[in-house]
A = this chain, B = another copy of it.
Amino acid sequence: MEDDEEAQLSAASPLREPLLRRSAPNNTSQVAIVGAKLCPIESLDYEIIENDFFKPEWDWRSQGKFEMFQYISMKWTLCFLVGLFAGLVGFFNNLAVENIAGYKFVITSNMMLARSFGRAFGVFAVSNFALTLFSSLITDFISPTAAGSGIPEVKAYLNGVDAPGIFSFRTLLVKIIGNIAAVSSSLYVGKAGPMVHTGACIAALLGQGGSKKYGLTWRWLRFFKNDKDRRDLVTCGSASGISAAFRSPVGGVLFALEEMASWWRSALLWRTFFTTAVVAIVLRALIDVCKSGKCGLFGKGGLIMFDVTSEDSAYHISDVPVVLILGVIGGILGSFYNFVLDKVLRLYNLINEKGRAHKIILACSISIFTSCLLFGLPWFASCRPCPPDASEACPTIGRSGNYKKYQCPPGHYNDLASLFFNTNDDAIKNLFSKNTDDEFHHFSILLFFITSYFLGILSYGIVAPVGLFVPVIVAGASYGRYVGILLGSHTSLNHGLFAVLGSASLLGGSMRMTVSLCVILLELTNNLLLLPLIMLVLLLSKTVADTFNGNIYDIIMKRKGFPYLEAHEEPYMRQLTVSDVVRGPLQFFNGIEKVCDIVHVLQTTGHNGFPVIDEAVSDAPVLFGLVLRSHLIVLLRKKAFLHTPVATGIRAFRHFSADDFAKRGSGKSQRIEDIEISEEEMEMFMDLHPFANTSPYTVVETMSLAKALKLFRETGLRHLLVVPKTSCRSPVVGILTRHDFMPEHILGLHPSLKKSKWKRLRFRVPEFLKLFKAFQISSGGVLV
């Protein structure tokens, strides 16, 4: 093979030349769309750095029990604070939405009662427009990073991809306020995703602590200035977000485990659980406070559990087939949701790229379109007479309630208005409620399903902090109800239960989670008896949907360009060795290197890790270790230079404290361009030995990519050194980074793999039939 010859050649060439083959740039980009902004991204590094300098000083674990006590108590205090703040934010979010949206509906409903429909529409549309405009303006001007749900960004962070600003304070503020405005503006958007990002933000900010002026905080927080502890905190934060959004503590833990985290330990389970327990208790206490009626319109609406408990929610084995069909169709609808959303996002990206004005106009047009639909569609529904045995006033006069009067004559209600002309939370509650089988006409439910399904898709991509959970639940609930109505007397299940199962199926088909969604739905509906049915629906809809496309968050993450590292390898990675993908030119340093050489390399390359190679006394050079760009920059900034090229040993540490090398918070790293070095200094030397990681993980060049990926992913590396098979050549032949494992990069290098049979199994319909045939033939053959 040509490649191997080149490798041999380069191995024989003198060491100062780039050690590696092709110098083509990496095929995957180092930027991604974060929120609504194009940002450079970086990998995080979870490797334990071992060298003479860090060992005694950084390794606080060796400093005795008091440090360990500090660390442990700080860890738990931070978790407590994350839970506390996430609970407070979750409550505040609900309070604000319930009051803003509530007063809007009260005012317009009163106008409707006075039969001034035009004015009602005016007020409704204008307030929605203003809220959406406000939300998109603050997002775009203050923190474009806050746009969208934030779950893809947090998930990528937990996978080891860092983007500047995702956890900044302004992102947090915009996320909270923008989401309140967007949800209050009657758009079909959710609050769960933004709450996850909010929780993660709170956690990251708390872990960073204040600035240096708060001595106390800062000293105790020194243990958290590394990627690993920050990752653990962010995991707890994302769990607390979900538990605050749905008041679902166990569901939050499971969500973080199933969907968000790429690395998980049992200890983390316990800490995450503690965080969500705090959230649950904070919410409970605040709701107790609100029971006295001091919270405005809050109380009946948001944050309550949907009550599907009823005697008739019993079910039997005979109900299972119906549930199976519901799950299968829900899976198809869910994967279609993902498919369309992907197309819409691609279109929106094109619009958003054109500039600020386009983004804002897009958001506002969606708002106007939504207002028109919400106000206009109920007119198509015929008025229904109030049921004589209604459990509540009919028609409802206040804000919430099942029976909206809308344009109907007295004693009648408009069933479509009960769904459209309401907050999403209330619409879900209406759909989930028991003993309301006759409340809705099948045409109304169908119309509502179609509208909410597509409005949810259209509303997601706008420049505002908006989530996906609630719209999917709304659409799913109406789908489930519709199935219930269609089946009529053929089933004994009530329609509220159908709505819950419908939501489960659409969520499963779109988000592809199982255990966490199941528990979230159980905690929402407070009915454990539904468990086996919900499990079944989720499993089916996920299985069906998985044959068509991927998880919605993975699709969005791919569209945004995050280099997400999957836990499992692509089949073709077993056919390639690491030397097939590693590419150069490999830059390295000698143990004692000239300052100008280091500066030159840092300025001309974007690499973040460099092997340090010692020309040993014997003939063969030796790999001493790996030095990081960030550490080199610290050394340059501190001007730790030598006049003569001799090893410094212990003297080198004099100028440094451990904190100099501590990893700064997200996106705060220093750049080489900011450092000024004089001509004279350029000619001096630096001893890299004390600062290089002396025991980097290595793999042999003949290892398959799949096996190297396992090491890279499981131990959370940023750089993986590739060493040659035969020991007396150059001691290192390349460095693998996250991008080298990206399928796009590999398929770019080896285009022939694209057409190969070694691709992930994802059936399209004709393939499935072919396989089924093959299966028949095979088993037939064996049986004969």
Contact = CB atoms under 8 A, between A and B. Distances in A.
23 contacts: A50-B703, A50-B707, A59-B574, A61-B571, A62-B574, A65-B767, A69-B761, A219-B782, A249-B535, A257-B266, A257-B269, A264-B264, A265-B568, A267-B567, A270-B542, A274-B539, A280-B531, A280-B535, A526-B529, A527-B528, A622-B727, A695-B702, A695-B707
Contact of A704 (B48, B72, B257, B285): B48
Nearest to A724: B727
A694 interface: yes
Contact of A65 (B277, B725, B731, B761): B761
A704 B267 CA distance: 23
A548 interface: no
Nearest to A708: B695
Contact of A532 (B281, B320, B711): B281
Nearest to A697: B711
Interface string A587-618: 00000000000000000000000000000101
A141 interface: no
B695 A699 contact: yes
B771 A273 contact: no
A783 interface: yes
A491 interface: no
A529 B700 CA distance: 55
A654 interface: no
B531 A249 contact: yes
Nearest to A727: B727
A274 to B, nearest CB: 6
Interface string A529-541: 1011001100100
Taking each of A61, A219, A731, which has the highest tally of chain B beta carbons within 10 Å of its own beta carbon?
A: A61
Given A694-B702, A726-B622, A783-B216, A288 B266 contact: no
B757 A317 contact: no
B618 A728 contact: yes
Interface string A40-59: 00000000101000010001
A326 to B, nearest CB: 16
A280 B515 contact: no
A365 interface: no
B771 A269 contact: no
A312 interface: no
A706 interface: yes
Q: How many copies does the complex hold?
A: 2
A763 to B, nearest CB: 9
Interface string A260-288: 00001111011001100100110011001
Interface of A: 48, 50, 55, 59, 61-62, 64-66, 68-69, 72, 215-216, 219, 249-250, 253-254, 257-258, 264-267, 269-270, 273-274, 277, 280-281, 284-285, 288, 316-317, 320, 514-515, 518-519, 522-523, 526-529, 531-532, 535-536, 539, 542, 567-568, 571, 574-575, 616, 618-620, 622-623, 694-695, 697-700, 702-704, 706-707, 710-711, 714-715, 725-728, 731, 757-758, 761, 767, 771, 774-775, 778-779, 782-783
Contacts of A568: 265, 267
Given A65-B757, A68-B761, A266 B567 contact: yes
Contacts of A699: 695, 697
A518 B273 CA distance: 10
B695 A703 contact: yes
Contacts of A215: 782
A250 B515 contact: yes
